[in-house]
Structure 1
Amino acid sequence: MARTALGGLCAAALLAGCGGGTRDMAGQETGARPALPAPTRAALPTLNIAPATGWPAGEAPRPAAGLEVQAFATGLDHPRWLHVLPNGDVLVAESNKQPSAPKGLRGLVQKQVMRLAGAEVPSADRISLLRDTDGDGVADQRSVLLAGLTSPFGMALAGERLYVAETDALTVFPYHPGQTRITDPGRRVRALPANGPNHHWTKGLIAAPDGTLFVSVGSNSDHGEAGERAETSRAAIWRVDPARDRAEVYASGIRNPVGLAIEPRTGQLWTVANERDELGDQLVPDYLTSVRKGQSFGWPWVYYGGSPDPRVDWSSGPPDDVSRPDYALGSHVAPLGLTFAHGSALGAHWSEGAFIGEHGSWNRRPAAGYAVVFVPFRNGHPAGPPVEVLSGFRTETGLARGRPAGVALTRDGALLVADDVGNTVWRVTSKATR
């Protein structure tokens, strides 16, 4: 019976991948007060997967009017995350989840979904350094800065210390400006939750001005179905103080926070979060939100400020004061990368707000995400609907030529985008400042 059901799900996934689907920018699914329909549950989940193909020679994503895009680096191995060093060097984490045997029918289906979407490739487990020595917008030097890591993701530089958030630990390495290879084995600062199945394996990282570090840790399940013990210290943002050897859960109840950034006008921490699946095409909105100490956003019991998830039957309940996210990005768009526009040279239209890499949906019709969007801000808060900066990652026939992940601004204000299916880092600039 289980084998028959699995076969049906996988066949549905293959057929769904051949369908079309365009970016849904419906206003009712975005903004500070998104419309939340009643949850729906079906015998089989919606599977609308875009099989990964990569980019044909000479093709690239579509930039918004007034912008242009070129490949900063190609031939990478599943580039997921970016960090720009003060001297202009670009670090790229070439990484994926560590191999593991799937557990149960749900795990088998998830593995098939990931394989179709190009997410089952072996992890390169390295951080590469890209350097553009002649200023033409293309990296002409490439070296492996760090190798032998365990699914590295977030990176942060503090003085002459480079911190790396691997899937199971926060590690620090000595770094000297201009260095192209680090041979020092580094030092483990703090273990991070990586208990099986380590469902959300990525660990985002950012350094705060006071020298502390924020680390994002995703949940170990979709809606708590793995049980409470599996989620200890997960679905949270940690604050780590390396100088005092201290760590604490700074905010909780966030299913899968990934990108972290400090809003430049207010100094406030923000994150983008991936919400739960299988409650309908319009549920649950992924979001962009500010984060303060002690906040809980309600996962897994409730979503978007208080709507109960009918599937959750934990013995404990949600906290009394559940925070509502600041801004809905749309359901199932899968936001990963986040950076604020301070220092952007893309033009006045893109000067204040947040750039977000939306990896793209699998549990929704029509498809959503597969784009880099910009949420304009005013006085430190979202002030308008998301605008596409870079699109065309998913074809009209439903194939994924690429999937945006990490985003970062270069020293000269260009926008970099890590494309983990296209194995490329794209560089977006203004035509006016060519």
Structure 2
Amino acid sequence: MSGQTTLFSRGVALVGEAAVAWRRRTQGPVPPPAVGGAPEIPAGRPQGAVPTLKMPTARGWALGQLPAAAPGLAANAFATGLKHPRWIHVLPNGDVTVAEALFMPGPPKTVFERAMVATMKRAAAIGPSPNRITLLRDADGDGTAEIRDTLLEGLSQPFGMALIGETFYVGNTDGVMAFPYAPGSTRIQAAGRPLVRFKPGGHWTRSLLASPDGLRLYAGVGSLTNIGDLGFEVEQERACIFELDLASGRSRVFAEGLRNPVGLAWEPQTGVLWTVVNERDGLGDETPPDYLTSVREGGFYGWPYCYWGRTVDDRVQPQDAARVAQAITPDYALGGHTASLGLCWMPRGTLPGFDEDGMVIGQHGSWNRSVLSGYRVVFVPFANGRPSGQPPRDILSGFLAPDESESYGRPVGVAIGPDRHSLLVADDVGDVIWRVGAAGR
């Protein structure tokens, strides 16, 4: 980072803190978290052209420093020295594949965009993308990967991964690629073939999830903008979940109106697809909350016209009353701007002290609020195929410095470990994959 950029970044931080302090004084105390099936969501207060901008400076982990695990659990580094690891996929033989990629913004066009870019650089959220998938192998089962190889490289901001039979699928920002894969391989040399093209830019992550029968792939595709700022035409086939039929090669929009659906998971009792969604910015600390929801085929979830059911966002013009009337209310609020990205199903008994089925969620952490939120890995208990109504429980925390000015790490993707009794967490600021398991084991 050049000296001029560093000075600008520091200036942005000071201006941002002043704006945050002003909003705290003028808007009153920070509302309680909007969490659960019936959250209390404050009325939206549009923040205008310069919304609240607050992110911690990326610090990384000191030698021997660890995130805080829930009682009865302990964390250890499964793999270190990665470059911005974002997503995890565990193969049937126990190998772990990790997508390493970074957001690469275009040239900023406004003062706020310049401020956002400078702030994200300070937070280690943007930069040259590694564009690779690394394979990790814990051959001796001690909870640490001692074998590492580059499975694929030269990709286009890879994120989601799936293995079906002997085909390895990768969700690049511009589409899904299929590669031949021999079981046990540590490197793929063959060229891939494209299955579907996506529009790159904006929310760039493309998560993947195979159907239980292996016949279809589901892909999360986020919006280009916050609320359709550049018109609705450029948002076509975005803010949605795609379904790809692998036999025919056909693809279609499975559900839409989901601003940025990232993690995807199956609830095994009902066979229903679930996702976590990052909602819109610029309306307040808890307005609207990010959420966990079941996904209905053909369903519309409100973006950009409305949020949390049919609460109209008057900033979006023209409005569409017919679409608002169709909007489905999400199942479970996760708090405002938590950046809930990672998602996986965790059966009861996987971790000590977690004796219910439920969803594990990696909360990457906020930028558009006066008090930081997220920066943790949480568990949402389920009963009878749905959230049981209990509040989320922390699995892993301690990613922020006590004064919240710095972040040691930021959790993203989550996956059940190869031994089925641990959890793996991708930490893109810490450049590490954490393993969480029973304490003392």
1:338 aligns with 2:346: no
Q: Which runs of 5+ in 1 are unaligned?
A: 19-24
Amino acid at match of 1:217: V
Partner of 1:167: 173
1:402 aligns with 2:406: no
1:294 aligns with 2:301: no
Match of 1:46 among 48, 52, 61: 52
Equivalent residues, number? 420
Provide the TM-score with structure 2 as the length reference: 0.91
Q: Which runs of 5+ in 2 are unaligned?
A: 1-7, 22-29
Partner of 2:4: none
Partner of 1:310: 314
Q: 1:225-304 to 2 correspondence within 5 Å?
A: 225-304=229-308
- CA, structure 1 residues 316+306, in 2 after alignment: closer, same or farther (shift >3 Å)? closer
1:417 aligns with 2:425: yes
**3-state SS of the aligned residue for 1:151?**
coil
TM-superposition CA deviations, 1:79-131 (whole Å, max 9, x none):
00000000000000011124522233343232123212211121100000000
Partner of 1:84: 90
Partner of 2:435: 427
Partner of 2:3: none
- State the distance in 1 between where 2:402 and 2:9 align: 27
1:134, distance to aligned residue in structure 2 (A): 1.0
Match of 1:199 among 202, 217, 224: 202
Q: 1:6-85 to 2 correspondence within 5 Å?
A: 9-13=12-16, 29-42=34-47, 44-85=50-91
Identity of aligned residues (%): 48
1:315, distance to aligned residue in structure 2 (A): 6.0
**3-state SS of the aligned residue for 1:150?**
coil
**3-state SS of the aligned residue for 2:271?**
coil
- CA, structure 1 residues 296+431, in 2 after alignment: closer, same or farther (shift >3 Å)? same
**3-state SS of the aligned residue for 1:349?**
coil
TM-superposition CA deviations, 1:397-422 (whole Å, max 9, x none):
22110000000001212100000000
1:350, distance to aligned residue in structure 2 (A): 4.7
Question: Would the aligned equivalents of 1:345 and 1:412 in 2 still touch at CA under 8 Å?
Answer: no
Question: Would the aligned equivalents of 2:77 and 2:434 in 1 still touch at CA under 8 Å?
Answer: yes
- State the distance in 1 between where 2:223 and 2:32 align: 28
- State the distance in 2 between where 1:187 and 1:379 align: 40
Provide the TM-score with structure 1 as the length reference: 0.92
1:351, distance to aligned residue in structure 2 (A): 4.1
Question: Would the aligned equivalents of 2:137 and 2:148 in 1 still touch at CA under 8 Å?
Answer: yes
Partner of 1:22: none
- State the distance in 2 between where 1:8 and 1:317 align: 43
Amino acid at match of 1:226: L
Match of 1:388 among 370, 373, 394: 394
1:177, distance to aligned residue in structure 2 (A): 1.0
- State the distance in 1 between where 2:367 and 2:134 align: 29
Question: Would the aligned equivalents of 2:305 and 2:319 in 1 still touch at CA under 8 Å?
Answer: no
TM-superposition CA deviations, 1:366-401 (whole Å, max 9, x none):
211000000011111111110110000011122110
